[in-house]
Structure 1
Amino acid sequence: MTRYDKIFNSKETTEDVLNPEEAVAAIAVITAIADSSLEDVDAESLASVLWDFEVFDEYAEEEITEIVYRLIDIAETDGLGALYNIASAALGDDIVLDGFAAGVIVLIDEELTIPPAKQAYLKELQAALDLEDEEAQEIIQEVIAAVEEGENAEFADDEAEITLPEDYLDSVYESPLGNFTVPIPVKSENGGRIQSQEGVVGFSDDIGTLLRIDYYPLLPEYLEDIETVGQEEYLQSILVEKYVPQAIYANVPNSEIKYAEYLEDALDGAYYVLVDMPQGSTISKQENNGNAKRLDAYRGLITFMNSDFLYIVSSQRSFLNGDKPAPLEEEIENIKEQILDFVESIEFN
């Protein structure tokens, strides 16, 4: 039994009936509430996202907003299980992929990935909708590409939204939990931008830079695990068995860890991996047919502990303008040193 059985294996019923488009919106509403609460759902923002779906071409945004509010009322009155059951009944084969896409788009974070904490829900949604892994991965990639294309268009219309002010260049970023500060490593003239929320911050720009810090408080049960298995094995399991599969493999098919190493003399013990990500860069290039295609990339990640937090610091190397990888051993060392240099600039509190 899983935490989402109350949604996907529920016997709850309701007298309400949905049409196929409303069922797509219902999957988005259920996804937004599943790990949160009704009070946290922004109906108007959700309606705005759904309005871009082709299935809602005949709807005004105000109509979609009314639908979302109605679906929230059903969830509040009859439960998420009941809402899912009537949505499932209305999702025909010709629209079920749209329903899954509606769930995916709710889960995508600022780094255009599905956060590890949301992977379990997404897998159960996939199973409930009876989708094969290949189908699901294709939808995930299409949604991510569409979101990125929309963001790029928005940035082109209003560059100030992504360009750091001049007085930002000498500033530092402070995490919401106050556990670290770091000088901002991207520049305004390169389109530098920051994506931040509690637990993660990413620094990126238009020339291929991506530096990201994920951080998690070390709870007592985690400390017990470290004591039991040892630091090296614990850090390896976090990075190799959990983070990379959930944050990278799930979003970038054909990704592969090319190198892994325990850094005994760095950061009081750290674990490093290099991941090959075919078409997995956060940067895309425009093809002759007008479609955006993601570039190939390497992603280096180092995990370590400091004070009461576990950190995963990563750096991306995108292959721009036909750039080819250097010998693997050279890429491994260069990306590792880049991450370690970045970590040196972080002041831990």
Structure 2
Amino acid sequence: MTKYDKVFNSQKTLTESLTPEEAVAAIAVVTAIADASVEEIDPEGLAGILWQFEVFEEYSEDELVEIVDKLIDIAESQGLSPLFNTANESLTEEVVLDGFAAGVVTLLDEEQFTIPKSKEPFLKKLQEALELEDEEADEITKEIIAAFQAGENAEYLDEEEGILTEVEYVEDVYESPLGNFTVPIPVDAEQGGRIQTQEGVVGFSDDFGTLLRIDYYPIPPEQLEELESEGQEEYLKTILVDKYVPQAILANLPDSQIKYGEYLEDIFAGAYYALVDMPKGSTMSQQENNGSSTRLDAYRGLLTFINGEFLYIVSSQRSFLNGETPNAIAEEAEYIKDNILSFVETMEFS
């Protein structure tokens, strides 16, 4: 007798039926409890994971928490095996892969991005019970692991100095805490517009792929000497290409590459612009059929310049849906540069 016989070696079912969506959630609940006690399960945490699945797009997070709570109560009162058997019977062909994905996500070690060795026997039994081929199961597992890795690595807005904090906004204009600039807010709250800030950084984003970010730093005296000795073009290029991009992008997305660079002598008495190719580096994700999500490829344009006593780096992204082919680098670079310059024109400096 194995430790998972209580789940897979019984023919008992529930007295009540489950919807296909409840069946997917039930597999996550059974998986979570199989190696733990009911008391250890976090309904809100489990619901938060499941809420990312496309199959639950019609549900609010609160509704999903209620479903998870109900399923946990059923598992406690009627047992794991009846809950699993009823879930298995209730999975339609359209969501059976979602059911397996729910098990994978529940077992995943999110720090190591692996299925722990001790959990692999359960996952194998789940695969067999759902009658999935090895190739199907492996593909789903790899996609989910890749999605979690991309989600961890691609959030380039999280830097060593700290995580950007999302703030609510009611005004139409954002004012820097240091008083060095103001800018009309370029995103709409009704379209998922968000403002994220930390010291020296503000980012604007929305659900449609908009990303506009301003990094700003008071220039220390020692750098003013460096600026004078190197000249503005070389100084700005060094700051952007040799320092900012490696620290803010390449450290998290090592496959990224600078594809284009240009000095703009007529912008703020000199500005340096670069375009970075960021595979799986967009802040946008594309939902897969099994409920997992994959970060999109993106180009990130960055413009650095000096105004007053501050150095600025203003950036924007262009994301590409799976299968979408970018234009020539020069054309993409020009397009994103124009977007950044249009945004910079809305900034008022003090």
Could you tell me the TM-score, scaled by structure 1's length? Answer: 0.54
Task: Classify the secondary structure of the residue corresponding to 1:238.
Answer: helix
Q: Is the 8 A contact 1:162 1:191 kept in 2?
A: no
AA in 2 matched with 1:207: F
Number of equivalences: 213
Alignment of 1:1-349 (within 5 A): 98=111, 142=148, 145=151, 168=171, 171-320=172-321, 322-349=323-350
Bigger relative contact order (CA 8 A; separation at least 6):
2
Structure 1 residues 220 and 60, CA, compared in 2 at 3 Å: closer, same or farther?
farther
- Which runs of no fewer than 5 residues in structure 2 stay unpaired? 1-35, 42-108, 115-144, 156-164
Deviations 1:317-342 (A, max 9, x none): 01136433122221111111111111
- The offset of 1:288, in angstroms, is 2.7
Q: Is the 8 A contact 2:167 2:195 kept in 1?
A: no
Task: Classify the secondary structure of the residue corresponding to 2:266.
Answer: coil
Task: Classify the secondary structure of the residue corresponding to 2:321.
Answer: coil
Structure 1 residues 99 and 163, CA, compared in 2 at 3 Å: closer, same or farther?
closer
Query: How many Å separate the matches in 1 of 2:216 and 2:269?
Result: 17
CA RMSD, Structure 1 to Structure 2 (Å): 3.7
AA in 1 matched with 2:261: A
Q: Is the 8 A contact 2:150 2:280 kept in 1?
A: no
- Which runs of no fewer than 5 residues in structure 1 stay unpaired? 1-56, 62-95, 102-138, 150-160
Deviations 1:162-207 (A, max 9, x none): 8977x54xx1001111111000001123211100122100000011
Q: Is the 8 A contact 1:164 1:187 kept in 2?
A: no
Deviations 1:295-315 (A, max 9, x none): 000000000001010000000
AA in 2 matched with 1:221: E
- The offset of 1:212, in angstroms, is 0.2
Query: How many Å separate the matches in 1 of 2:292 and 2:146?
Result: 16
Query: Aligned residue for 2:65?
Result: none
Please say which of residues 244-253 and 198-207 is displaced more in the overlay: 244-253
Query: How many Å separate the matches in 1 of 2:110 and 2:186?
Result: 39
Query: How many Å separate the matches in 2 of 1:140 and 1:294?
Result: 9
Task: Classify the secondary structure of the residue corresponding to 2:327.
Answer: coil
AA in 2 matched with 1:268: A
Could you tell me the TM-score, scaled by structure 2's length? Answer: 0.54
Structure 1 vs Structure 2: percent identity of aligned residues?
Answer: 64
Structure 1 residues 324 and 235, CA, compared in 2 at 3 Å: closer, same or farther?
same
Task: Classify the secondary structure of the residue corresponding to 2:248.
Answer: helix
- The offset of 1:148, in angstroms, is 8.9
Structure 1 residues 146 and 263, CA, compared in 2 at 3 Å: closer, same or farther?
closer
Query: How many Å separate the matches in 1 of 2:184 and 2:111?
Result: 41
Query: How many Å separate the matches in 2 of 1:248 and 1:285?
Result: 21
- The offset of 1:266, in angstroms, is 1.1
Deviations 1:52-93 (A, max 9, x none): xxxxx88979xxxxxxxxxxxxxxxxxxxxxxxxxxxxxxxx
Task: Classify the secondary structure of the residue corresponding to 1:226.
Answer: helix
Structure 1 residues 191 and 218, CA, compared in 2 at 3 Å: closer, same or farther?
same
Query: How many Å separate the matches in 1 of 2:113 and 2:294?
Result: 22
Structure 1 residues 292 and 238, CA, compared in 2 at 3 Å: closer, same or farther?
same
AA in 1 matched with 2:241: V
Larger Rg belongs to: 2
Task: Classify the secondary structure of the residue corresponding to 1:312.
Answer: strand
AA in 2 matched with 1:282: T
Query: How many Å separate the matches in 2 of 1:99 and 1:221?
Result: 41
